[in-house]
Amino acid sequence: MANIETKKMTFKVFRFNSETDYLPYYKDYEIEVKPGEVILDILNRVKWEHDGSFSYRRSCRHGICGSCAVKVNGKATLACKDRVSDLVEIFGEELVIEPQNKERVIKDMVIDKADFWKKYNTVQPYLETEVDEAPTAENYVSPEDAELIDEADYCIQCGNCYYSCPAVNANEDYLGPAALALTYRFNADVRDEAKQERLTTVNKIGPGIWDCVKCFECAEACPKELDPIGKITKLHLQTFEEEMAENNVAVRHAVGFKPSIKKHGLLDEGELVKYSEGIPGVLKHVPVAFKMFKKGKIIMPWNMPKSKNLDEIQKLVDIASTSKFKGK
């Protein structure tokens, strides 16, 4: 049998026990890594070979349960999914293993996820419908209708997108990408009858869909590649389809792209601010706008260029856009 080549590596691992430690610390562990080993193998080795008090969550080892979610060099991952060799190619030889959220640590890699589950439960994460207690046939869903869910039902609730979201870090009320993607999963289900109730919940400024900052961190963090931000965008569209979009600054910011693109084929950021916030908003942003102008980041309205094939762009805008505010 051929020898399996191993490589000695040093892993910097986050350690903290909320019952005994005043501050967290990092401890280095030298481990012989075999080809193909994943981060979960390293966590197991730390516990089995170095320190039996080391704590982390794990279960299926198949990328299904989401229990072993951690961060490696700031990158959200499932410990059972990412190979050490692949992470070395990205980050180099020094790998730092940390919990999903260092502020919510109970012990080492184990965090208190009560905030995640509380928001998860807020959006009615279950099918709402009248069910025949004695059905004579299956409740058939066509392949076309099933495709509307856009794989949102594959979410494993690992929390990687939630704990990678800067909007969650800045706004404790924000529901976060996992709960919002789940909202879309049931709203897109043709059997569900609670679409408007969920939209009422997620349509609020503060916790809802309009507080997504479109940074795409959730899409990067999702181990199942489910594109949570795409589901949030579809919830935006649902509020317009149901004529539930309020006439507020957040919604106007979304709608404001339309007149700019239709007029120029390009985004006029100054006009977008005016459309969203009015003249007072424009005046409020003058100091920042002046600095941007000096750096060549803003084009004056009278110098705004026109896109090529503007007439075709205008036709596409007219065909694609049916946005209406509530009551309009």
pLDDT of 81 above 90: yes
- Residue 266 has a pLDDT of 86
Mean pLDDT of the chain: 92
Give the model's pLDDT for residue 1: 42
- pLDDT for 263 equals 87
Confidence of residue 323 (pLDDT cuts 50, 70, 90): low
Distances (CA, A) of 81 to 66, 72, 147, 184: 10, 12, 26, 26
d(CA 263, CA 224): 39
Q: Say if residue 131's pLDDT is above 90.
A: no
Task: Say whether pLDDT at 139 is over 90.
Answer: no
Confidence of residue 281 (pLDDT cuts 50, 70, 90): confident
Please give the residue that has the higher pLDDT: either 182 or 260.
182
> What confidence category does residue 271 fall into, taking pLDDT thresholds of 50, 70 and 90?
confident
Average pLDDT over residues 135-141: 87
Mean pLDDT of 234-258: 90
Work out the average pLDDT over 59-66: 94
pLDDT tens for 304-318 read 888 888 999 888 888
What pLDDT is stored for residue 293 in this prediction? 83
More confident site: 131 or 146 = 146
Instruction: Please compute the mean of the pLDDT values over residues 120-136 and round it to a whole number.
Output: 91
pLDDT of residue 67: 96
**What is the full DSSP assignment across 89-100?**
HHH-S-EEEE-S
Q: CA torsion angle for 285, 250, 155, 192 (degrees, to 10)?
A: 180
Q: Provide the whole-model pTM.
A: 0.88
Residues of the chain with pLDDT > 70, as a percent, come to 97
Can you tell me the mean pLDDT for 292-321?
Answer: 84
Asked if 198 contacts 241 with a C-beta cutoff of 8 angstroms, the reply is no
C-beta separation of 97 from 42 below 8 A? yes
Q: Has residue 56 got a pLDDT over 60?
A: yes
Please determine, for residue 153, whether its predicted confidence score (pLDDT) is greater than 70.
yes
pLDDT at 98: 98
CA distance 229 to 161: 10
In the predicted model, is pLDDT for residue 222 greater than 70? yes
